[in-house]
Amino acid sequence: MSKEMGNTEAAAPAVLDAIQFNGDGLVPAISQQFDTGEVLMMAWMNRDAVTETLKTGSVCYWSRSRGKLWRKGESSGQTQTLKDFRWDCDADTVLIMVDQVGVACHTGRRNCFFNAVRDGEPTEIADVETDPKELYGES
């Protein structure tokens, strides 16, 4: 974590107080590589995920599909170290600056936003950098 944030664990109650969680108790969290500005992914956090992220300095989301805390990199090793924790004017979206180990996307791409319009058609614009089998093992 960056020194300027200070004691993020102590800040957690005030941050939780500020953030407007939606009806499902969630807030969207955008992660951005702190030094390059690359937008890596968007996922969701609940109160526990925000608390754990601020306490440990390692990013934790809430997995809507699995219905449990998602400690980013727990299975894949592709962790995100918290560098800055920000939220927007309406306090209903979080922007976290992180240092991403390896690849952020479960497809093995560096970031999740690899679909784009090229020559008037949907096109994949990024290559797989790490075989997902290496990230999650054969199954």
Please provide residue 135's backbone torsions phi and psi, each rounded to the nearest 5 degrees. Answer: -80, -40
Alpha helices in the chain (DSSP H): 8-18, 47-56, 132-136
Sign of CA dihedral 50, 51, 52, 58: positive
Question: Which tokens go with 117?
Answer: 């319009």
Asked if 114 touches a copy of itself (CB under 8 A), the answer is: yes
Shortest Å, Cβ 99 to a copy of itself: 15
> Which of the residues 11 through 40 are near a copy of itself (CB under 8 A)?
11, 14-15, 18, 28, 30, 32, 36-39
Q: Which of 63, 74, 75, 125 binds a copy of itself (CB under 8 A)?
A: 125
| Strand spans (E) along 39-79 | 39-45, 60-63, 68-71
Shortest Å, Cβ 21 to a copy of itself: 15
Q: Site map for a copy of itself, 63-102, x if CB under 8 A?
A: ---------------------xxxxxxxx-x-x-------
